Amino acid sequence: MQRRQALTLLLGSVAALAAPFPALAYEVSKSDADWKKILSPEAYDVLRRQGTEAPWTSKLEYEHRKGVYACAGCALDVYSSETKFESGTGWPSFWKPLANAVQTSDDRSLFMDRTEVHCRRCGGHLGHVFDDGPKPTGLRYCMNGVALTFKPAAA
């Protein structure tokens, strides 16, 4: 491959990452402008543009109370604190989502082959799932904390 072809391929991949998340038919659907109004710039980048927050920057990484984690875009409950574990990766990690909460798709961006996890109600990008988690599932749902909110359990 010639240098020019490689550069064109790389720039095309980078441009695709900068494009807003595609507006598909989700239960909660908003225009790009409306998402920008209701989300912080960081949450918008992750949820709508498939960004990734820096590791160890989310307060949810250090959250240990009982409760539920919800999508920051549409407030759908997606994970229980009962399935959260310390993965050592710098992002909140879970071994199982709540029933009917998330969907997955292939993510081949940045020359990697991963499985993207997104909210089934608004399509927001939450993170990725890997097969190096604990029992009983063996899965590690590695989530961006900025894509989630925490609702503590009633005392």
Predicted local distance difference test score (pLDDT) of residue 18: 45
Please work out, in degrees rounded to the nearest 5, the angle formed at the alpha carbon of residue 76 by the alpha carbons of 72 and 81. Answer: 85
Please identify every stretch of the chain with a pLDDT value under 50, giving residue numbers as ranges.
1, 4-21, 23
**pLDDT value of position 25:** 78
| pLDDT at position 110 | 66
Q: Which CATH architecture has domain 3-152?
A: Beta Complex (2.170)
pLDDT at 57: 95
Alpha-carbon gap, residue 36 to 47, rounded angstroms:
11
Instruction: Name the pTM for this structure.
Output: 0.82
Just list the catalytic residues: 142
User: If 0-12 CB within 10 Å is exposed, 13-18 middle and 19+ buried, where does residue 150 land?
Assistant: middle
Residue extents of the structural domains in the chain? 3-152
Cβ atoms of 48 and 124 within 8 Å: the answer is yes
Residue with tokens 């399509």: 123
